[in-house]
Amino acid sequence: MEPLTIDVDEIDESGQAWQADLPREFVDSALRGEPPTEFHAAGAATVRARLTKIGRSVLVQSRFTVPLEGQCKRCLKKVRLDEPIDLTLTYVPRAGPAPEPPRRAGHDRAEPEPAASFDAETVDEEPYSGKTIDLAPALREQILLAVPPSPVCDEACKGLCPTCGKDLNADDCGCEKTTLDPRWAALKSIQLEKKEK
């Protein structure tokens, strides 16, 4: 796959568009992160981003969708969705042996302030070294954060009847449901054991 890297020297100061393909394998590996989701990629995705450079800091703003497929955890129907992924991140050069930035009064933290900052309050910062930025780790993390852990076809999905397997979204099967609560089942078996003794 093409590398998801940005050459900082090549970014226009006035901002520019950037685009890259995310192969299905990339999306799949992101979905198997920690904790893994129960989705898999339904295809490849395309990342479209806006890059803005101030000094050596680079603001990356991106919104794209990843096509996902999974199985509803309640009714086992196939779930297909396009999950929107937002990525807004400022890459700041990792402090090197370069000139020490001026220190604010009453501010004696050891680490130097980044040379340029967009809005540290709202935009996450990520350090980078050298002159290339690798977007892959941030993209992977953002996909994992945005995707729900398990697929549900609908928040109101009633699932399958544990007794007869009927899809309860279509019709109620009339099976007795209360006896199937595992807590009751456990109680019942305890009572049976007592009687046997």
Q: List contacts with Zn ion (CB under 5 A).
A: 72, 74-75, 153, 157, 161, 163-164, 166, 173, 175
**Distance of alpha carbon 150 from alpha carbon 160, whole angstroms:** 16
Comparison of 5 and 163: residue with beta carbon closer to Zn ion: 163
Comparison of 44 and 175: residue with beta carbon closer to Zn ion: 175
Comparison of 93 and 151: residue with beta carbon closer to Zn ion: 151
Give the helix ranges, DSSP H, for 22-169.
24-31, 136-146
Rg value, the chain, Cα: 26
Closest approach of Zn ion to the CB of residue 75, in Å: 3
User: Cα 152 to the chain's mean position, in Å?
Assistant: 17
Q: What is the dihedral of CA 51, 23, 147, 16, to 10 degrees?
A: 10
Handedness of CA 115, 128, 27, 72 (dihedral sign): negative
Comparison of 163 and 191: residue with beta carbon closer to Zn ion: 163
Closest approach of Zn ion to the CB of residue 92, in Å: 44
**Distance of alpha carbon 155 from alpha carbon 157, whole angstroms:** 6
Dmax (CA) for the chain in angstroms is 83
3-state secondary structure of 145: helix
Comparison of 92 and 160: residue with beta carbon closer to Zn ion: 160
Closest approach of Zn ion to the CB of residue 116, in Å: 49
Comparison of 115 and 161: residue with beta carbon closer to Zn ion: 161
**Distance of alpha carbon 194 from alpha carbon 197, whole angstroms:** 5
Closest approach of Zn ion to the CB of residue 147, in Å: 17
Closest approach of Zn ion to the CB of residue 151, in Å: 8
Closest approach of Zn ion to the CB of residue 181, in Å: 15
Handedness of CA 11, 17, 20, 26 (dihedral sign): positive
